[in-house]
Each structure stands twice: as C-alpha cells, then as structure tokens.
C-alpha cells in the first residue's frame, strides 16, 4: 500500500528570502479571495467549470501585476484547493469556503511538484531545498525524509507555511509499504478526560503535566495585560500601532510553543498506543456540541456560565479530536483498528454489575449504588467503553463476543 506522510522542517531564510515568501503568501491569499468573489458572484448554487475558473485566475494575474509574485504552479494549486473545498461542502464533509482574513488566516504557499525541490542534505543538522522564485534555502535537518538520500520513497511536493515561530516547509512524501498483518496486540478502551488525559481500561493511564510552565504563565499574563493597555489607547478606525502588533506577536509565539509541546506529547503517546494495542476503542464524542457556550439568550439566560467557560477551555486545551485522528492512521499502518462506541452512559454505569445511576459518580470517584464497587471514575468509564465494543481480551489478540456476555479485562478496582 502507499503511505503518505508530511514532514515539517524549519526554514533558515535570509532577509530577502523572507520578504519574497511574504509577498508570495499575500498573493496566494489574495488569489483565493478574488477567486471566491468571482465564484460567489452568481450565488452559492453557481457551479462553474474548472476551465472557466482557470481562465479567471489567468486573467487576474494579467490585470493585477503583483499577483505574478506567486509562481504559476502555486496559483494553480490555490484553484485546486478551492474547488476541493466546494466539493467537500457539497458532499457534507465541511462548511462552505469563506474569504481569508489578512490577520486571522495562516500564510501558506504550495509547491506541487516534488521534482522541482532538489532536496539534499548538507551536514548532520542542515539540509537544502530549492523554492521557486526564492532560490536555494537551508532548513533544519531534524530527521530523515523519505526519497532523500538512501531513504526509500519519494517527495511528491511541499507546502510553505508561516506560523508565529517563523516559516516552515512541509514535505509531502509517498512510500510503498507491504500491507501490514493484523495486529495481535490486546484490545483496550480509552476514556478521554481532563483530570486524566487518557484513561485506559487496563490501568496504563497516559497523563501529562501542565502545557504552560509557571514562568511562561506569568510572562503570558504580563503580555496580555500590556496588550490590553495598548489597545485602550488605540482609536477606532486607526491602524494598529507597531508596539501593539509586536505585543500580539509575542503572545502568539508563547501560545505556539504550548501548542507544539502538546502536539509532541500526542504524537509520542499515540505511537506508543498503536504499537502496543491491536484494537483501541474510544467514545464517539461530538466535541463541537460539548464546548458550546452556556450563555443562553436574553429570554433564557444560562447558568454557571463562568464554570462552563472554564470547562470548555480545559477540553479544548486537550485537543481530544486530534488525538483520535492520530490514533486512527497510526493503528491502520500497523494493522490495528480504531473503534468508536456511543458515549451515552459510559460515565454513569458500573463496569462490574452494569447498574446505571448518575448518583454513582461523585467527581473523580465512582461508587456503585447497587453493588458498592468503587474506583476511579475515568477508569470505570474506560472499562464501559471496552465492554460497549463487544470485545473480550484473552492474553493476546481480541475477538468478538455474542450478546449477553460481559467483556473480560485485567483491570482491578482501585
């Protein structure tokens, strides 16, 4: 089978190279917005052909000279990405495309042809890549890249992305691998929470420390207060001052480091789970519905709004949806399987006797009101998640069981 992956590397740009990429990024965003305005001119139900859209962007590049800063292949990729976004909307997988804001959107430029990159390794920690209209650019060699040197596979393209920490290049790669054999590891239920990040039904819970360190928290608070003072001095309608912009950039860099720290933990943890377990069972959570605001309306105001807002921030800070996405593809590559079960009742049901009572859960402690079984609430939920999948674990491997039988696990009550 063909396995596609992306490898992110940090670019080392000169001042002129960074300025050129900035121009290309602004041109790509403007191309998207012009294409969206042309597409929506006839209403949402308008469906022009790809040929008509291609002629429109070619004419735009002639009429607006600075759009030529964007390479022609990158402009074509903007068109393909935009059309794909509409197809995802029509098929119900995403919402309709919108205009890209200069402030809130992430700057990105595509290099669709991998053969034009000319990736080489110069030393132990330095590599080099050719970027259209920029030239040869060095990047941080933080690991092997398929298709470069003796590594099997090929580089199919790249994407240049700018985040608060600078410009990065994402190499798109393709590797031919044999179809993996079925993973013979055990099955496990996983409950995603806040107190315990990932509670496993076999007791091998996965936790982490605070994403933000104490000194970083204090510095971020100082920066946010500074931005608030500078914003009060800003008059409506005037451009943002350079000082306020620099403060916003420092805040964004601090938060980007936290996001990168969380992503590193997620990758390492999901890789460990995918290598150890053959079947991973999780709840089918509707996270978007779970983190909705509790403010309510003027006629029906919400209750405990501040508490719910804090809970929403904690849930979003864990990024549980991304954890499941990482688990899904890593399990598939190793012959494993990810199963989703309904989330209703998993935290209120006793894993020992099956009695369901909301009064059994008291914070992080679960005490069954029927059989008096006691344990951690997240561990109890993980056992229920595994039981809901109808799997029995016998040493190695997992097999389906018939209705009316209870899944066996090695988890003991705490």
Active-site residue, 23 included: no
Instruction: List Cβ neighbours of 78 (8 Å cut-off, separation of 6 or more).
Output: 28, 31, 32, 35, 57, 70, 110
Which residues are CB-contacts of 355 (< 8 A; sequence separation ≥ 6)?
Answer: 349, 368, 369, 370, 371
The answer for residues whose C-beta is within 8 angstroms of residue 279's C-beta and 6 or more apart is: 183, 185, 186, 187, 188, 336, 337, 338, 339, 389, 391, 398
Long-range contacts of 343-348 (CB under 8 A, 24+ apart): 343/283, 343/284, 343/285, 345/384, 346/191, 346/283, 346/381, 346/384, 346/385, 346/388, 347/191, 347/377, 347/380, 347/381, 347/384
Cα–Cα distance, 175 to 144 (Å, whole number): 13
Element of type H or E holding 119: none
Cβ atoms within 10 Å of 201's Cβ, excluding its own: 28
Distances (CA, A) of 98 to 46, 48, 104, 223: 15, 17, 12, 31
Look up 378 and say whether it is catalytic.
Answer: yes
| Helix, strand and coil percent figures for the chain, each rounded to 5 | 40, 20, 40
Among residues 69, 202, 205, 378, which one is catalytic?
A: 378
Of 40, 41, 51, 55, residue with least CA distance to 85: 40
The crossing angle, in degrees rounded to 10, of helices 15-40 and 50-63 is: 130
Residue 355 and residue 370 in contact, taking contact as beta carbons nearer than 8 Å:
yes
**CA–CA separation, 256 vs 392, rounded Å?**
42
| CA–CA distance, 340 with 374 (Å, rounded to integer) | 26
Q: Which of 69, 110, 202, 283 is catalytic?
A: 283
The catalytic residue among 110, 191, 205, 318 is 191
Element (H, E) at 144: none
Distances (CA, A) of 309 to 285, 294, 316: 19, 8, 11
Active site residue 191: yes
Can you tell me the distance from the alpha carbon of 189 to that of 211, in angstroms, rounded to the nearest whole number?
Answer: 25
Q: Which residues are identified as catalytic?
A: 191, 283, 378
């Amino acid at each position: 089978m063909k396995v596609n992956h992306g490898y992110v590397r940090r670019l080392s740009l000169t001042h002129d190279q960074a300025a050129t990429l900035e121009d290309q990024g602004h041109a790509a965003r403007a191309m998207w917005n012009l294409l969206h305005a042309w597409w929506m001119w006839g209403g949402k139900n308008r469906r022009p052909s790809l040929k008509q859209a291609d002629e429109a962007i070619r004419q735009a590049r002639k009429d607006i000279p600075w759009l030529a800063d964007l390479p022609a292949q990158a402009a074509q990729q903007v068109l393909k990405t935009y059309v794909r976004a509409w197809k995802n909307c029509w098929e119900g997988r995403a919402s309709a495309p919108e205009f890209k804001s200069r402030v809130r959107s992430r700057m990105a430029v595509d290099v669709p042809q991998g053969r034009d990159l000319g990736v080489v390794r110069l030393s132990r920690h330095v590599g080099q890549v050719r970027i259209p209209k920029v030239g040869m650019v060095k990047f941080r060699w933080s690991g092997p890249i398929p298709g470069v040197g003796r590594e099997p596979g090929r580089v199919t393209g790249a994407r240049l992305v700018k985040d608060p920490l600078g410009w990065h290049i994402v190499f798109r790669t393709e590797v031919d691998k044999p179809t993996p054999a079925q993973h013979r590891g055990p099955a496990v239920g996983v409950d995603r929470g806040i107190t315990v990040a990932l509670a496993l039904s076999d007791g091998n819970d996965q936790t982490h420390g605070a994403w933000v360190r104490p000194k970083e928290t204090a510095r971020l608070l100082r920066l946010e207060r500074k931005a608030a003072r500078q914003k009060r001095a800003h008059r409506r309608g005037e451009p943002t001052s350079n000082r306020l912009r620099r403060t916003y950039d420092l805040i964004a860099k601090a938060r980007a480091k936290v996001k990168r720290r969380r992503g590193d933990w997620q990758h390492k943890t999901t890789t460990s789970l995918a290598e150890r377990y053959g079947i991973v069972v999780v709840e089918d959570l509707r996270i978007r519905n779970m983190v909705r605001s509790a403010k309510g309306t003027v006629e029906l105001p919400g209750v405990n709004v501040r508490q719910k807002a804090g809970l929403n921030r904690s849930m979003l800070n864990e990024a549980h949806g991304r954890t499941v996405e990482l688990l899904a593809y890593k399990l598939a590559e190793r012959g494993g399987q990810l199963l989703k079960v309904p989330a209703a009742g998993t935290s209120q049901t006793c894993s020992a006797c099956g009695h369901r009572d909301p009064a059994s859960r008291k914070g992080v402690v679960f005490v069954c009101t029927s059989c008096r079984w006691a344990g951690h609430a997240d561990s109890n939920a993980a056992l229920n998640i595994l039981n809901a999948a109808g799997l029995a674990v016998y040493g190695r491997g997992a097999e389906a069981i018939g209705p009316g039988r209870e899944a066996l696990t090695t988890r003991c009550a705490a």
